[in-house]
């Protein structure tokens, strides 16, 4: 948890790559998460026909010419060991979903995450779906959440 927060978060902010938010108690860091811009592209899926069925059907009529769709990526989401299982991760995801629906200033349609294998069930329970089966054997899986689902 601390490696990214202490070593990289400030640098990412200074270089305009990501913005990190920290949740703290009066004595310790409870959790942190960060956002960066992302997109979902046809080439990430590999099979364009499957992509059109899975993702393009979620887009407004008349937008079929797009080759990529705007997203916000949760680059990091970490909860301290003492606070795991107490709902902080779920609350961060719910906050993120509402933030980009209620305050969507950039035209963001999806939330994406490269979920570590041990986090897959957590993201599934929170409404995220797998973008492709190409990464099924990887250490991380690309997952997405369609923000339109909460409108």
* Cα–Cα distance, 25 to 93 (Å, whole number): 19
Q: Tens of pLDDT along 25-43?
A: 999 999 999 999 998 876 5
pLDDT at 3: 66
Nearest residue to 58 (alpha-carbon basis) of 149, 151, 150, 134? 149
Report whether pLDDT(61) > 50. Answer: no
> Could you give the number of structural domains in the chain?
1
Question: Long-range contacts for 114-122 (Cβ within 8 Å, ≥24 apart)?
Answer: 114/73, 114/140, 114/141, 114/142, 114/143, 115/140, 115/141, 115/142, 115/143, 116/140, 117/141, 122/89
CATH code where residue 135 lies: 3.40.630.30
Report whether pLDDT(87) > 80. Answer: yes
- Tell which wins on pLDDT, 84 or 104: 84
Q: Is the torsion defined by CA of 130, 140, 21, 108 positive or negative?
A: negative
- Tell which wins on pLDDT, 68 or 52: 68
Contact 112, 71 (CB under 8 A): yes
* Cα–Cα distance, 140 to 131 (Å, whole number): 12
Radius of gyration of the chain (CA): 16
Q: Domain range for residue 23?
A: 2-150
pLDDT at 48: 53
Report whether pLDDT(70) > 80. Answer: yes
pTM, two decimals, is: 0.82
The residues facing 34 across adjacent strands are 20, 76
């Amino acid at each position: 948890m601390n490696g990214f927060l202490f070593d990289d978060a400030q640098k990412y902010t200074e270089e305009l790559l990501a913005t990190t938010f920290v949740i703290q108690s009066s004595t310790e860091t409870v959790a942190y998460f960060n956002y960066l811009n992302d997109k979902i592209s046809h080439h990430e899926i590999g099979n364009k026909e499957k992509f059109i069925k899975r993702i393009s059907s979620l887009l407004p009529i008349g937008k079929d010419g797009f080759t990529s769709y705007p997203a916000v990526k949760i680059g990091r989401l970490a909860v301290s060991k003492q606070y795991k299982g107490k709902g902080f991760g779920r609350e961060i995801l719910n906050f993120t979903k509402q933030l980009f629906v209620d305050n969507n200033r950039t035209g963001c349609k999806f939330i994406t995450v490269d979920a570590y294998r041990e986090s897959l069930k957590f993201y599934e329970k929170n409404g995220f779906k797998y973008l492709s089966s190409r990464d099924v054997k990887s250490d991380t899986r690309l997952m997405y959440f369609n923000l339109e689902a909460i409108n």
